[in-house]
Structure 1
Amino acid sequence: MARPVRLPDEVEPMARFVEETPPREIVREAVKRLRGGVSEREMMVAAALAVMRSTEMPFVHHGGPLHPVAALPAVEATMGRMEEGLRWLPLIQDVALANRHIHDPASGPSIMPEIEPLGAGSADATVEAFRRCLGRNYTSGAEHHFLWLLENAQGKAVEALLSVAVDNYRHDEHKLIAAVNAFRLLDRIGWRFAPVLLRGVVRYNFMPSVWAKAPPAEGVEALIERHRLKEGVRWEGEDADERVDGLRRSLVEVSLEETPERIAVALRGGMSLMGAAEAVSLAASDLFIGMETASPMGIHFMTGANAIRWVCRAHPPLGVRALLMWALGPETRGAVRSRKRPVEAPGRAGLEEVTEAIQANDGAQAAGRAAGYLASGGDLRALLRLLGEFAARDDSTEMHAMKHHQAMVEEFEGARPSLASVHLVAQAKEAALHAGKGTGVYEEAREALM
C-alpha cells in the first residue's frame, strides 16, 4: 500500500502549515510565523517541499509546483533589495502561491507517495534506463531510476536530468528552467531535500509537452557535427566586445532558420561558450524590447537564456547543445516571428518618469525612459529597488515577474558594462506589462508588515 512522503521532523510542521492553512488566512499567518522566529530559509524550504509533494505537475505548466519552486532563488535574492519593512514580501508572495495551488482543484491536493529507488545494475545502465523512459513518457519509471541515481551517483543523476531538460527546451522552455532553478535552490537549502524536490522536475520533463510540435533535434546534431563542436570549443576566456555585440545583433536581425547556424559559426570561429551565451542573452532582451506584446508572461526566451547561461557555466559539456536549442524554443520562435517596431533613442529621464510609465502600463515608454535614466547616469541601486518592488507586488503572473526580474539583474551583472543596460531596459518593459494588475497579496501583506 502506498504511503505519503514524509519530510524530516524539523520541516514537517511548517510544510503542513503551508498545506493546511486556508488561502484566505495564509498571508497574515505567514507574517505571524516570520515575526515569531521562523527563519526565511525555513519558510522557503516549507513552501518548496509542501507544494512539490501536495500538488500535481500539470503538463500545461500552470498550477502545481513549477512556478513557486522555480521562483525561490529569485525570491531570496530580491528580498535583499527590498526596503526593510517589505523585505519579506517576495517570500510571502511565494508561500501564498504555493498554498493557492495546493487548494486549487486544477492541481491539488495531490499526494506524493514514497517509492523505492530502482537501479539497472550500474550507474551507466541506470542512466540509460532513465532516458529510455522518455520515449514512452514513463514518468513513474523515471522517478524510480532517478532516486537510485541520486543515492548512488548524484553527479550522473544531475547530468542525466539536465541533459533531458536541454533536449526538451525545443518543446517548452519551462522544462529546462524548472531543472536549473531547482538545482540552484538545492545549492542554497541543501541537497538532502533533492529526493522530494527533484521528483516533480523529473515528472514534468518526462510528460508530454503542451507544445508537442517542435523543430527536430536532428538539425542541432547536424550543426554540432558539421562545425565539429563536440571538441575544440573554449568554455570561457576573453572575447572582444565587438565580437559579442556582433553576434548579438546578428541574432536579432537574421531569420529564424539562420539563428542556430550563426551561433554555431561563432563558436567554431573561436568565440568562447560564455561569450556566445552572453550574446544570446543580450539578443533575447533586444527581441523583447522591440516586439509588440501585452503579455508579461511571454518572457521565457529571456529567463531561458539565463538558465542556459547557467548550464554553460556549471555544466559546459552541455552548453553547446543548450545554446543551439535556445533558437528552437517556442517563445524564441514567437519573438523572432513577431512584428517589431523600432526603439526610440532614449532621452534623459528621472526615476519618477520611469515609475510613471510603468504604472501607466506603457511598456515602450517604460523601456525608453529606463534607457534614458541609465544613459544619463541614474542611480542603479534605486532602479533595481524600484523594479524589484514592482515584481514583488505582483500576484497575477505566477511569479513570472519575480523570475524575470532576477534573471535580468543577473544578466546585467554578468554582461560587459558597455552592453549590459539592455537587460534592465527589458525588465522595465516587463514591469509595465503587469504593474497594478494583481496586487491583493501585496496589499494584505503590506498592512500586516508595516
Structure 2
Amino acid sequence: MTGRRSFLKTATGAGALVTLGQMGGLPGVTAAEARLPAHLVRFHPDIEPLVRLLEETPREKVLEEVAIRVRQGLSYREVLAALLLAGVRNVQPRPVGFKFHAVLVVNSAHLASLASPDSERWLPIFWAIDQFKSSQAANVREGNWLMGRVDEAAVPKGHQAREAFIKAMDNWDESAADAAVVGLTRTAGANELFEIFARYGARDFRDIGHKAIYVANSFRTLEVIGWQHAEAVLRSLAYALLDRSGAKENPAKADLAADRPFRQNVEAVKAIREGWLAGKMEAGATKEMLQGLRTASAQESSELTMKLLNDGIAPQSLFDAYFEGAGELMMRAPGIVSLHAVTFTNAIHYAWNRVQDDETRRLLLLQNAAFLPLFRGDRPDEGTRIDALEPVTPEATGDEAVAEIFAEISEDRLLAARKMLGYLEKGGSAQAISDAARRLVFLKGTNSHDYKFSSAVLEDHEQLSPPWRDGLLAAGAFYFRGSGERDNELVGRIRGALEK
C-alpha cells in the first residue's frame, strides 16, 4: 500500500489516552488545527496535540520544542506515550525492522532511561524522538503510509472477537485481523491479549526475530504509559505479525521454511512430560544444549530441548544455554543478524515469564531453541567459544579498570571481552560495567541497535545463573560502544535544549 492509504480504514474511539491536563504549557490548538484527515486513526483530544507536535515539527526543531514543554511541566510518561503513538501512526510496521525501529526502540530507550542518573534520564527519550523523525521521513519517501481508521462495521462483538482474531491470524487475513483485534482490545484484558500475541510473535522466522521483539516491547511500553493506549498499538502489532516478507503464497496454505519450526513444535510440545517446570539446575545440561546450538539444525535443537526437559532439567538451565549461545554468535560474527539472536532471546524470555498457559510456555522454549540455529545459518562451528573465553586481568583496578576496558573496546573487542571477564572474575562490579555501557550508548550511540542490544544484554545478565552471567556480559563487548568513539552530536543539543 502506498500514498496516504493504510492497511486500516478507521480510527477507534476507544483506546483513549492518558489525560495530559494542560500538556505542560502546550499552546492551545484550534478546532481547525486539530482536525485530522478523515481517514486517519485519531487519538483522544488530550494526547492528540502532543502527538501532532512530534509529527509536524521539523526534525531540526522538535527536540527544542519538546524541551520547552518539559521545562513547563510535561511529564516523562506523557512524552513516552506520544512518542509511541506517533511512531505507530506514521511508520509502516513492514518490514518489522529498518525504519520501524523508531517504534521498536521505545521500550529499550525507556529501560535505559530508568537505569540512568537523574541528570541523564531524558537523553534516551530525546534520542528516540530524533529517531522517530528520521523514520518518519523515510516512511514518507517510501510511500507515506499512515495508519487509518478501522472499519467499525467489521468489528466483531465482544464475545466473538477472540475467536475471530485467532481465525484471522491463523489464516493470515489482514483485514479480518484488524477488525477483530479492535473488538478484542475493547473487551479483553492485557494478560489475555498477551497470551495470544506471544504465540504469534514466535510463530515464524520472518524479519529475523523482530516480530517477537515487537510483541514484548509494545506490551512493556503499554504497561508504562497505560492500557488505554492499546488499541492503535495492537492494530499495528497485528499487521506487523502478518508480514509475509514478500512471499506470494499464503503461509496458512503453503509449507514455507520460515513457518516449519512452529508447525513441528506445536505438535512436539505434547510429548513434554508433566511436571516439566520442576526440573533441576544442571551446568552439564547447559553445556550440552550450548554445544547443540553450535551445530544442530532447528529441528534437532528443539528435539534436544525436549529431551533435556523430559530428563528432568529445569528450563533455567536451557535459557542459560540460549543466552550464552546468542552471545557467542555475536562474538563470532558481530553484526545485525547475530545481534538479533540476542534481542530475540531477550523477548522470548520476557514472554515466557509473563504467559501462564502451559502449552505456550513449552512452545516458546522450543521456538527459541529452533530459531537460534537459523540465526547461526551455515557458519561453521569455528572461532571463540563463550565458555572458553580466557580472562585477562586489566592493568588498572576499580573505576580505572572499567575505563581501561571500554577504551579497549575501541581498539580490540576480543581483548576487551577478555579483560571484562578477568575484571568480573576478580570481584569487579558488574553494575559499574553496566553503568559505563549505558552512558557510552547515550554519548556515542548512533542507531536503535545500540539501545536494543545494550538494554537486552544488561537485563539478561541479571537473568542468568551465576556461573554463566559473566560470559554474557563479556560478550557484550563485541557490540558495546567504546570510549574512543566519536561523541553523538545530539547529546549537546539535547542538554542545551533542556537547560535553557
Please give the range of the TM-score, normalised by the shorter of the 2 chains: 0.7 to 0.9
Deviations 1:234-253 (A, max 9, x none): 33x56324255334433344
Structure 1 279/99 Cα, relative in aligned 2: closer, same or farther at 3 Å?
A: same
Report the equivalent of 1:82: 116
Structure 1 107/363 Cα, relative in aligned 2: closer, same or farther at 3 Å?
A: farther
Cα distance in 2 for residues equivalent to 1:103 and 1:46: 18
Query: Structure 1 residue 43: deviation in Å?
Result: 0.7
Structure 1 229/177 Cα, relative in aligned 2: closer, same or farther at 3 Å?
A: farther
Report the equivalent of 1:147: 182
Deviations 1:207-265 (A, max 9, x none): 21268996364555545645744661533x56324255334433344333532221121
Cα distance in 1 for residues equivalent to 2:475 and 2:229: 34
Structure 1 311/365 Cα, relative in aligned 2: closer, same or farther at 3 Å?
A: same
Residue 55 of structure 1: which of 87, 91, 99 is its match? Answer: 91
Residue 373 of structure 1: which of 401, 423, 429 is its match? Answer: 423
Cα distance in 1 for residues equivalent to 2:94 and 2:268: 38
Between the two proteins, the alignment pairs up a number of residues equal to 441
Q: Does residue 326 of structure 1 match 2:375?
A: no
Deviations 1:401-430 (A, max 9, x none): 112111112211111222111222122221
Q: How does 1:257-276 map to 2 (within 5 A)?
A: 257=298, 258-276=300-318
Deviations 1:280-309 (A, max 9, x none): 1222123322x133x256411111111111
Root-mean-square deviation (Å): 3.0
Cα distance in 2 for residues equivalent to 1:440 and 1:337: 39
Q: Does residue 282 of structure 1 match 2:324?
A: yes
Q: Does residue 99 of structure 1 match 2:144?
A: no
Matched-pair contact (CA < 8 Å) for 1:387–1:428: no
Q: Which moved more, 1:336-345 or 1:256-265?
A: 336-345
Matched-pair contact (CA < 8 Å) for 2:341–2:375: no
Report the equivalent of 1:195: 231
Q: Does residue 358 of structure 1 match 2:358?
A: no
Residue 416 of structure 1: which of 445, 456, 465 is its match? Answer: 465
Report the equivalent of 2:197: 161
Work out which of the two has the higher radius of gyration on C-alpha atoms and give 1 or 2: 2
Matched-pair contact (CA < 8 Å) for 1:395–1:441: no
Q: Does residue 215 of structure 1 match 2:257?
A: yes
Q: Does residue 442 of structure 1 match 2:491?
A: yes
Matched-pair contact (CA < 8 Å) for 1:396–1:434: no
Q: Secondary structure at the match of 2:95?
A: coil
Structure 1 287/103 Cα, relative in aligned 2: closer, same or farther at 3 Å?
A: closer
Q: Report the AA paired with residue 427 of structure 2.
A: G
Report the equivalent of 2:348: 308
Report the equivalent of 2:276: 234
Q: Percent same amino acid among aligned pairs?
A: 21
Cα distance in 2 for residues equivalent to 1:158 and 1:420: 28
Cα distance in 2 for residues equivalent to 1:216 and 1:99: 32
Cα distance in 1 for residues equivalent to 2:315 and 2:222: 25
Matched-pair contact (CA < 8 Å) for 2:322–2:369: no
Q: Which moved more, 1:213-222 or 1:296-305?
A: 213-222
Matched-pair contact (CA < 8 Å) for 1:248–1:279: yes
Report the equivalent of 1:345: 390
Cα distance in 2 for residues equivalent to 1:404 and 1:303: 6
Report the equivalent of 1:401: 450
Cα distance in 2 for residues equivalent to 1:424 and 1:392: 19
Using the size of structure 2 for normalisation, the TM-score is 0.79
Query: Structure 1 residue 83: deviation in Å?
Result: 4.0
Cα distance in 1 for residues equivalent to 2:484 and 2:183: 45
Cα distance in 2 for residues equivalent to 1:301 and 1:348: 29
Query: Structure 1 residue 71: deviation in Å?
Result: 2.2
Query: Structure 1 residue 139: deviation in Å?
Result: 2.2
Q: Does residue 4 of structure 1 match 2:40?
A: yes
Cα distance in 2 for residues equivalent to 1:201 and 1:60: 9
Query: Structure 1 residue 342: deviation in Å?
Result: 2.4
Query: Structure 1 residue 20: deviation in Å?
Result: 1.0
Structure 1 63/101 Cα, relative in aligned 2: closer, same or farther at 3 Å?
A: same
Q: Which moved more, 1:179-188 or 1:269-278?
A: 269-278
Structure 1 98/262 Cα, relative in aligned 2: closer, same or farther at 3 Å?
A: same
Cα distance in 2 for residues equivalent to 1:214 and 1:404: 29
Cα distance in 2 for residues equivalent to 1:47 and 1:118: 29
Matched-pair contact (CA < 8 Å) for 1:172–1:210: no
Deviations 1:102-148 (A, max 9, x none): 2332457443222127455674x544433443466432321111111
Q: Does residue 34 of structure 1 match 2:70?
A: yes
Q: Secondary structure at the match of 1:78?
A: helix
Q: Report the AA paired with residue 175 of structure 2.
A: S
Deviations 1:360-403 (A, max 9, x none): 3x332332222122122222222111111222235533x11112
Matched-pair contact (CA < 8 Å) for 1:388–1:405: yes
Q: Secondary structure at the match of 2:466?
A: coil
Matched-pair contact (CA < 8 Å) for 1:85–1:449: no
Deviations 1:40-99 (A, max 9, x none): 1111001000111122223262113xx233222322221233344322111111111112
Report the equivalent of 2:291: 250
**Unaligned 5+ runs, structure 1:** none
Deviations 1:318-344 (A, max 9, x none): 122222222443x74243633531255
Q: Which moved more, 1:172-181 or 1:366-375?
A: 366-375
Structure 1 437/251 Cα, relative in aligned 2: closer, same or farther at 3 Å?
A: farther
Cα distance in 2 for residues equivalent to 1:219 and 1:351: 42
